[in-house]
């Protein structure tokens, strides 16, 4: 059974980089890796996605292992507004979410 696993929670200091890991060891070769985040009382919000190569956008960077069995979401400078639950997911015809990592940011 394909699973996507993430640590339950992580903590960071404000203005420091954060590396959020995800394990997707059984991902299909054609599935994209997507990351979403969810703020309290809101729907999930798209952050970034990739297939094989590392990706950067205005919100974050995504580092994908060469064997695609894991990936890491990188927030370069965490702010208090980045405190949320971050979901790693596999995107084929369906979108299958991991359990999410609750990121706490300390001032």
Partner 1 sequence: EAQVTQNPRYLITVTGKKLTVTCSQNMNHEYMSWYRQDPGLGLRQIYYSMNVEVTDKGDVPEGYKVSRKEKRNFPLILESPSPNQTSLYFCASSLSASGDYNEQFFGPGTRLTVL
Judged by the rule CB under 8 A, the positions of this chain that interact with partner 1 are: 32, 34, 36, 42-46, 49, 51, 87, 91-100
Q: How far is the CB of 44 from partner 1 (least distance, A)?
A: 5
Specify the residue, 38 or 72, whose C-beta has the smaller distance to partner 1. 38
Nearer to partner 1, 50 or 105 (CB): 50
Q: Report yes or no: 103 and 20 within 8 Å, Cβ to Cβ.
A: yes
Tokens representing 50 are: 């990739």
Q: Which is nearer to partner 1, 14 or 45 (CB)?
A: 45
Cα dihedral across residues 21, 27, 30, 34: positive or negative: negative
Q: Of 66, 8, 78, 75, which Cα lies nearest the Cα of 35?
A: 75
């Amino acid at each position: 059974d394909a699973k996507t696993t993430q640590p339950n929670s992580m903590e960071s200091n404000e203005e420091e980089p954060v590396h959020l890991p995800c394990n997707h060891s059984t991902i299909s070769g054609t599935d994209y890796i997507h990351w979403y985040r969810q703020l309290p009382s809101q729907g999930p919000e798209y952050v970034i996605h990739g297939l094989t190569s590392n990706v950067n956008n205005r919100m974050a960077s995504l580092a994908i292992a060469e064997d695609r069995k894991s990936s890491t979401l990188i927030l370069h400078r965490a702010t208090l507004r980045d405190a949320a639950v971050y979901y790693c997911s596999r995107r084929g015809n369906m979108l299958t979410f991991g359990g999410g990592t609750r990121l706490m940011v300390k001032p």
